[in-house]
Amino acid sequence: MATGAGATLTSTDTRTLAARAILEECGAGAVAVHKAIRAGATTSAVRASRESGKRLLCVAPTTRILKETVEAASDGEAVRVPGNHECPLLAEEIEAFPVLADLPLSLPDCSKCPGYDGCAITEILRRPDFEVAALTYAKVQALMLSGAKTSKKIRQILGKADYVLLDEAHLLGFGSVPSVPVGPLPEVPERFRVLSKVRSMWLELLARHAEVINELQEKATNGAASQHLSRHALVPDPLTWKALSGAWSELRKLAKSGEMARADLLRLRDAIEILSYPWATVHFVSEDEGRSGHIQISGSHGKGERAISEFLHDVVPYAGHVYVSGTLVEPHEGYFAELSGKAVRPVAFPDIMRSSERVTLIPDTWSLNAGGFARKLPAIIDQIRQISEREREPIYCLCPNVKKSLVIRKKLQEAGIKDVFVDYYRSDASIGVTRNERICIAVGLAELPSNALDPLARGKDEYERWLDSRRRRVQAVHAATWQSINRVRDPKGVTPSRIYLIGVRLDEVRELATWGPGRQATVREIRDGKTPAGGPWRSVKFSIEVEEEIEHCIIFGEDMKRSHENQRRVSEMVEKIEYYDDALINSEKRPILPIIIYREKG
């Protein structure tokens, strides 16, 4: 296989050829690549770029994706640009003070480091003619915010890329931001003058927006889920670059002093980040399964997006911008074009290995909501036990959030149920990487508080912003769920995989599995009413529509009239199951198989 600058295409691999066609179509423009989960688009793009003698820069949300996907696809030739925390000198401090790993770290003067010539941090400087380079979105932001000479040199080298592949690009519009609950920050020792100033600035911010905070708190008592509870908040005198640098320096010193608890250090960290930008957001966040909540102040989503946009505009403006994801969706129309500063064309990467056809989705006959988890827990554990006994192989189990994953892990241990790896949606192990299991149990959908995306919502009035927030939430929940449960999919399309969705009904599974260009959540029904306390209550249901459907999985209980290329009939699936208990089928829509599939002969 020919590689390197000036190389010509020699591959006959159909996925590599498909990726090369997309790169050629992109040219110096921009494309949004819609694909089936684990179709191999990123891997194939790396190979296609190398074979055609082009330079490819891969940006991904996690280091794990870069190591397991990009470096593997490049036969170890990719130059990874590590985060600052991987600096050998800083690593020694992190080992002594682990909390430093979660704080912004400034690189020491690399030119004076004795390990300069062999350091991974500066490897990109020694390989300016890279074939493939890779870094995280967080590292891009760090490079764009840094005024250091080393960062400037790295930006200049990365600017040579012919293509920039933005992996798992759906996360760009739904990324997290720093948030701090309303209230005073922890007191700091007097010698930390900049941090003392930060604390004073925070108190001034709370005082400036006290009326808004009280308004949102009062509104939240009348049914938070039925309202849009978010307001922009001006930060009148944001931290200057010099003050910001001083704050990070003092925070690191405070962390190493041992005078402050980890949780308080992280609150200070997030407050510093919020106060470094002219705009913040005051909004309500529900908790305890929606039974309570609190007001918090969050940083602007615009800051992280601005760093990515400036990178695309200023560092790699003449490169092709390739947005890739198996759950590609924009938070609003034209979002990717805004980031790139050029038109973005939708394209589809084919599921050449037909891996989707080897995935079977098994719905349940009831829906799990956030408040019903404790009540349904015994039944959930029993369902997991029955599935485990019948599958008799390792299982990947996904839970709505971290807290619930710990509960289920404990209950499975108490019940003596083994070979079930319990994880949660949005973990590092549930996006962009492979797993060895071929059986997945999904307990409900990914959990996201009802008002979580209020700060992102758009609209001319509160009602439109409420509706837009709920629309974005549906898209975010579907993306996180679909990404996670498909970790058990065989990318080669050889070994079948089965995904049991406990507490997810057939109609929900249909929409969850619908992906492709033009994916939209359109309003199906809006219901209004009164809560038991007499307050207003409102909910909305959406239907998922796409212009071109790219996933073609097998869904037990699928409507026979639903048009799916290569969709197998339910009756064919029943014939493959030697015995099942008809008493467990309690849905009005037959034929629907139960969540438990009995494969033994009767």
DSSP letters for 184-212: PPPP--TT-HHHHHHHHHHHHHHHHTHHH
Q: Is 501 left (phi over 0), alpha (psi -120 to 50) or beta?
A: beta
More confident residue, 168 or 2: 168
Tokens of 80: 């990874």
CB atoms within 10 A of CB 51: 22
- Residue 446 in this model has a pLDDT that exceeds 60: yes
Q: How far apart are CA 170 and CA 336, in angstroms?
A: 10
pTM above 0.85, yes or no: yes
pLDDT at 289: 60
* Residue 393 pLDDT level (bands cut at 50, 70, 90): very high
Per mean pLDDT, which of 6-20, 142-156, 365-379, 461-475 is the most reliable? Answer: 461-475
Give the least confident one: 4-18, 285-299, 396-410: 4-18
Q: Which of 587, 518, 511, 514 is nearest to 542 (CA)?
A: 511
For residue 443, give the amino acid letter: V
Mean pLDDT along residues 334-359:
96
Total number of residues shown for the chain:
602
Tell me the pLDDT of the chain averaged across its residues.
87
Taken in order 249, 255, 260, 264, is the CA torsion positive or negative? positive
* Residue 10 pLDDT level (bands cut at 50, 70, 90): low
Q: How far apart are CA 300 and CA 486, in angstroms?
A: 31
Residue 298 phi/psi, 5° resolution? -120, 155
For residue 591, what are the β-bridge partners? none
Residue 582 CA: distances (Å) to CA of 360, 436, 503, 592, 597: 20, 32, 19, 10, 11
Give the contacts of 374 (CB within 8 A, at least 6 positions apart): none
More confident residue, 297 or 590: 297
Mean pLDDT along residues 88-114:
86
HSE (side-chain half, CA atoms, 13 Å) at 133 = 30
Mean pLDDT along residues 64-88:
92
Q: Is 288 left (phi over 0), alpha (psi -120 to 50) or beta?
A: left
SS3 308: helix
Q: Is the bond preceding residue 491 a cis peptide, omega within 30 degrees?
A: no
Query: Angle formed by the axes of helices 14-26 and 41-51, to 10°?
Result: 70
HSE (side-chain half, CA atoms, 13 Å) at 494 = 1
- Residue 564 in this model has a pLDDT that exceeds 70: no
pLDDT at 6: 42
**Positions of E strands within 418-508:** 420-424, 439-443, 497-505
* Residue 142 pLDDT level (bands cut at 50, 70, 90): confident
CB atoms within 10 A of CB 520: 14
Q: How far apart are CA 476 and CA 426, in angstroms?
A: 11
Give the contacts of 21 (CB within 8 A, at least 6 positions apart): none
Q: How far apart are CA 104 and CA 90, in angstroms?
A: 11
For residue 9, give the amino acid letter: L
More confident residue, 601 or 506: 506
pLDDT at 529: 83
Mean pLDDT along residues 35-50:
95
Residue 239 phi/psi, 5° resolution? -60, 135
Cβ neighbourhood burial of 151 (10 Å; 0-12, 13-18, 19+): middle
* Residue 18 pLDDT level (bands cut at 50, 70, 90): very high
